[in-house]
Amino acid sequence: MSAPATGAPPAERAPGGAARAGRRVRRVRELGILLALVLLVAATTAVNPGFLSGQNVRDLLLGATLLTILAVGQSLVLITRNVDLSVGSVLGLSAFAVGTLFVSFPGLPLPLVAVAGVLVGTVCGAVNGVLVAAARVPALVVTLGTLYVFRGIDYWWASGTQVNAADMPAAFLGLGRLTVLGVPVPALVALAVVLAAGLYLGHYRSGRELYAVGSEPHAARLGGIPVDRRVFLPFVLNGALAGLAGVLYAARFGTLDATVGTGMELEVVAAAVVGGVAIFGGSGTVYGAALGALLLTTIDAALPMLRVDAFWQQAIVGLLILVAIGLDRLLAVRAARRLRGGGSHGA
């Protein structure tokens, strides 16, 4: 007489175990980023006690705001095994659109102008999404092309001119300096974006399906997941968030021209990857991406105070990216071996 069953076979338990192991690894990585951030702040404060002054902390939060919002949007795209290199150009185009609207129609309500800026980004994201999801063109190729297309539109629109702070309403510019209990309003907006995206990925079926698409698109398609729609949506959301970042940029800095956002795309990808979002897709959280953005911003602010040469500042960021990608690859290989081992044992 055979012994009673005590649970699912190892082959059936393996995927759940691997998922739990993956969640533990992500939590450990995010705690590691938080620890590195704390150590960096502590070391900088020991050298320069003014680093944690109220004004400096507010400046640090403001500096991390745009990168955090962009990193959240980029994370949604990366999770599906894609990438968007056009976010800097989309931010610049949205910011200039906001400034131009204020110049051309001075009486427009502020919320309407803000929505228009987000819509510009949404349209740009939809263009990327259609080309990647419907036309099946690799995202790297598409977004590298639209990076220059959107930037070219911005240059054509600006025609060598710029929008100055004097051309925009004082109430709008005040949003970049407004605080609630000492916390800048743009930073609170970034926090709301992180929480909303985290809720979507963790508690909605379509959000969880993004991980399945990024892990194995062919298997996701066979499982009945609408892969093309799941790939399209993150590009649209990423574009909308880049548009929102453009609105906040205009409110904070006031002076806008066709060069706004140039080069930000690589920093955005770096923040997401350092935060534990796998460049290979299917893994990571927006909370980790936000921590990655805060860590990179703190590095930029702290290393000059520690009298570290600018070359080494860039080298440290590059090293963090290489370590993060190498760790992602190592964990993926170990997880695959664990699943194969569980499957053979169950057989």
pTM: 0.88
At 22 the pLDDT is 55
CA distance 310 to 317: 11
Q: What's the CA gap between 55 and 37, in Å, rounded?
A: 19
- What local confidence, expressed as pLDDT, does residue 148 receive? 96
CATH class of the domain comprising 29-340: mainly alpha
CA distances from 150 to 90, 144, 205, 259 (A): 7, 10, 33, 11
d(CA 334, CA 347): 20
Q: Which residues, at least 6 apart from 242, have a Cβ–Cβ distance to it below 8 Å?
A: 69, 70, 73, 87, 90, 91, 94, 121, 124, 125
pLDDT at 3: 45
Amino acid in position 339:
L
Q: Is 258 helix (H, G, I), strand (E, B) or coil?
A: coil
* pLDDT value at residue 342: 55
What is the pLDDT, as a whole number, of residue 144?
95
Q: What is the pLDDT of residue 249?
A: 96
Q: What is the residue extent of each domain of the chain?
A: 29-340
DSSP 184: E
Confidence at residue 197, expressed as pLDDT on a 0 to 100 scale = 96
Q: What pLDDT does 7 receive?
A: 41
Of 215, 196, 200, 205, the C-alpha closest to 78 is: 215
- CA 228/CA 73 separation, integer angstroms: 18
Block mean pLDDT (10 aa), the chain, length 347: 42 47 65 86 88 86 94 97 96 96 90 96 97 93 96 93 89 87 92 96 93 91 92 97 96 92 91 89 91 91 81 78 76 68 51
Q: Which two tokens stand for residue 70?
A: 């962009």
